[in-house]
Amino acid sequence: MIRVIVTGFGGKMGQAICTAIASRATEFTVAAGVDPYFEGASCNIPVYKSINDVKEEADAVIDFSRPEALHELLPYCREKGLFAIIGTTGLTDDDRAFLDSYALSVPVFNSGNMSLGVNLQLQLVKKAALTFGLGFEPEIVEKHHHLKVDAPSGTALMLADAISSQYPEDVKYMYGRYTRTERRKNAELGIHSVRGGTIVGEHECYFIGTDEVLEINHRAYSKQIFAQGALRAALFMQDKQPGLYSMQDIVMENDVLSNLYATDNQAIIMVKGMSGKAALREVFSKLAEVGIFVDMISVAKYDEVSFTVKSSKLYAACSQIEKLVDIMPDIRVYALDEITKITVEGIGMEFRHGIAAQIFEVMAEAGVEILMVTTSETKVSMAIENKSAQAALKALADNLDL
């Protein structure tokens, strides 16, 4: 049973949270409410003006109030050992910095939109942006009820950030185009807000190309989808360590790690004593001259680089680099043969912290020495000795459910 303090208790989302909790009484209970403006009946639930006045025992705080509430809420969570579910939108940069600082000591779940559908939409728009590039011009239209105070919505900004993250160049956000009398620039993303009636929330993403348009849209018909999303977040956050979590962690919960594979017949080459601003170019140009492909490039110091090549290309690669001695007299080449590259991959790694530490812990407990590591947002590759490959693969598969 998760005991919840609901802040913004008297608001529409606060009441939606209470309704959702009542429908799941075997899993949740409302310990108390917090709302400085609440004057109505609370159905035997104690409601306080300030969270610091709450006397009831609790496990979590769910907050859909105002950004300024964070400054009492998060210190309270740290003092009482609670985790926090923050669904409040309109956070400033200072608010986010405050939230980030408390996430070092408090498990904090923060999302501008608690809907699983919207968070899947985030993944779909990233895929579209990556596939199309700026050849398809992106635009976002968000629609909400006339009581919403922030514009554009936090979800629209989440979508914009997801789209722009896939482009190689900076993209300028254009919040409407009133008074603009110039053509649309290539590297811009239009964001438009509509307010009226009782629209719960609609987010339309357009990728507009020549003679075709792709739309990726989401429509919310009830605030209960956000309330149920917040409760799902609360279940997810049980026993989590301090840190900042989001709906993307839930969307990717079962796909954090999806692939494990090995590439054998590899060799590591270490080049030391390089000199000159063009040293890296010279080294890799020499290898390209004879058609040698390299992998796992790692630069530790300005004058050192390590990388892997196929074992069959080891002698040729070393010979090519040694030809640079005329322009880099201190250059030295070292090699390790009989290497296997082990790769752990998963799109969820982009959103879940601690995965690399978990991988290295498994390798250490299996007694596998890692000779070299390279990473990306969704991949960790490790070079190890051939003799350790089977032990490494078994340990990773058994411990990471791969």
Active site residues: 144, 148
Cis peptide upstream of residue 152 (ω within 30 degrees of 0): yes
Is the Cβ–Cβ distance between 262 and 393 less than 8 Å?
yes
- 99 CB contacts (<8 Å, ≥6 apart)? 70, 74, 86, 91, 108, 110, 244
Question: How open is the CA angle 261-236-83, to the nearest 5 degrees?
Answer: 125
CA distance 313 to 269: 11
Strand 2-7 and strand 60-63: the pairing is: parallel
Tokens matching residue 307: 């990388």
Cα separation, 303 vs 279, whole angstroms: 8
Element (H, E) at 93: helix 93-102
Q: What is d(CA 273, CA 296) in angstroms, rounded to the nearest whole number?
A: 20
- Say which residue the tokens 């990717």 belong to: 252
| Residue reference for tokens 């060799």 | 267
Beta strands in 196-347 (DSSP E): 201-209, 212-220, 243-245, 259-272, 295-301, 304-310, 332-345
| Per-residue DSSP letter, 363 | H
Q: How far apart are CA 104 and CA 130, in angstroms?
A: 32
Nearest to 293 by CA among 326, 328, 266, 275: 266
Distance of CA 281 to the CA centre of its chain: 33
179, 120 in Cβ contact below 8 A? Answer: no
How many other C-beta atoms lie within 10 A of the C-beta of residue 232?
Answer: 16
In this structure, what token pair is assigned to residue 229? 């999303």
Q: Is 33 exposed, middle or buried (0-12, 13-18, 19+ CB in 10 A)?
A: buried
